[in-house]
Amino acid sequence: MTAEPYATAAGLVERSAAAYVSGVPEQPADDGFFGPASVTWRMSGDLGGPIAGLRSLLMQALHPLAMAGVDQHSGWREDPVGRLAATSGYVTTVSFGERAAAERAAARVRRIHTRVNGVDPITGRRYDATDPALLLWVHAALVESALAVRQAFGTALSDTDADRYVAEMVVAAELVGVPVAIVPASVAELDRYMESVRPELRRTPAASESMAYLLDPPGLDEEVAEIWQDIRYGAVVSLPDWAREMYGYQAPPLTPGRREEIRQVLGVLDAVFLGEPGVLEARQRIGARVRAARTA
């Protein structure tokens, strides 16, 4: 791990918005892998998305081999905002894009993964980003975080819809190279999987360094920096107790009043996001397709 400082997070909202717009097709040839009637589309439109995204990164970083791959091969330090925007664009394309576009995006990710391998300096173990076990951890942390944040700060899904969401997400895991047979397809299976991986997890120096940056990124404009304090709190407080203890983070209890404050802040951040070029139009396209699906 190098000691180079990270670049600033200037342009976080602008570049994330541009990536989002690029992932929502204007005249789609098909409904993609999920479609407007799916739970995935409902989850992707949840205001808690920024908290869920940050929480998932906190979870993913606790796997030493996954974190070593990111630390040694990604452009986090040189362009952290670009890395986040690229991830956001990929998720949007897989969620809302045509099947062909989602498959192309996944193929690019798989090609990148073939170059990501090495040795974790902490455990001494070799890692390979094409390893289904590592890919599954990244996938599961993302899905579990989306459900946890929705439960904490949004309108919780019914048990049936939560299971549907986990089952729908199997496709997303398969796209990046995880065999379907090992991907959790229900909330119960997801919970069992997360528990099974816990003995492998630890906070490495790379995890501490990168997550410290994400929790307090330099270079945000004043309005977004203030909002980010609440995003950070939401991500930390929604972590499982064991994950928060691994990091050594402290978080006051989530009271009903504090929960409502976070919800209001998420609304403000979403308004800022909607002010970026093309975002409102992309949302309107999605909304129109959802309404058409309901009518059909």
Question: Does 5 score more than 70 pLDDT?
Answer: no
Coil, strand or helix at 286:
helix
Question: Does 4 score more than 80 pLDDT?
Answer: no
User: What is the per-residue pLDDT across 232-286, written as a single tens digit (0 to 9) for each?
Assistant: 999 999 999 999 999 999 888 899 999 999 999 999 999 999 999 999 999 999 9
Coil, strand or helix at 119:
strand
Kindly give, in sequence order, each residue whose CB lies less than 8 Å from that of residue 218, ignoring residues fewer than 6 positions away: 6, 8, 9
pLDDT score for 3: 42
pLDDT score for 252: 83
| DSSP H or E run through 39 | helix 39-44
> Using 50, 70 and 90 to split pLDDT, how confident is the model at 296?
confident
Alpha-carbon torsion 97, 99, 104, 106, what sign?
Answer: positive
- CA proximity to 236, closest of 225, 245, 223: 245
Kindly report the average pLDDT of the chain as a whole number.
93
282-292 average pLDDT score: 95
Residue at 122: amino acid letter? I
Q: Label residue 130 exposed, middle or buried (CB < 10 Å: 0-12, 13-18, 19+).
A: middle
Q: What are phi and psi of 118, to 5 degrees?
A: 165, -155
Q: What are phi and psi of 203, to 5 degrees?
A: -90, 105
Q: Provide the Cα torsion 234, 238, 242, 247; round to 10°.
A: -20
User: Left, alpha or beta for 184 (phi > 0: left; psi -120 to 50: alpha)?
Assistant: beta
> Using 50, 70 and 90 to split pLDDT, how confident is the model at 18?
very high
For residues 117 and 73, give the distance between their C-alpha atoms in angstroms, rounded to a whole number: 8
For residues 59 and 137, give the distance between their C-alpha atoms in angstroms, rounded to a whole number: 9
pTM of the shown model: 0.94
Contact 40, 169 (CB under 8 A): yes
DSSP annotation of 118 reads: E
> Using 50, 70 and 90 to split pLDDT, how confident is the model at 155?
confident
Contact 207, 67 (CB under 8 A): yes
| DSSP H or E run through 174 | helix 170-175
Question: How far, CA to CA in Å, does 176 sit from each of 84, 133, 247, 294?
Answer: 18, 12, 28, 30
User: What is the per-residue pLDDT across 193-233, written as a single tens digit (0 to 9) for each?
Assistant: 999 999 999 999 999 999 999 999 888 888 889 999 999 99
Share of the chain above pLDDT 90, in %: 81
Burial 239-254 (b: 16+ CB within 10 A, else e): beeebbebbebeeeee
30-59 average pLDDT score: 94
CA 296 vs. chain centroid, Å, equals 31
pLDDT score for 6: 58
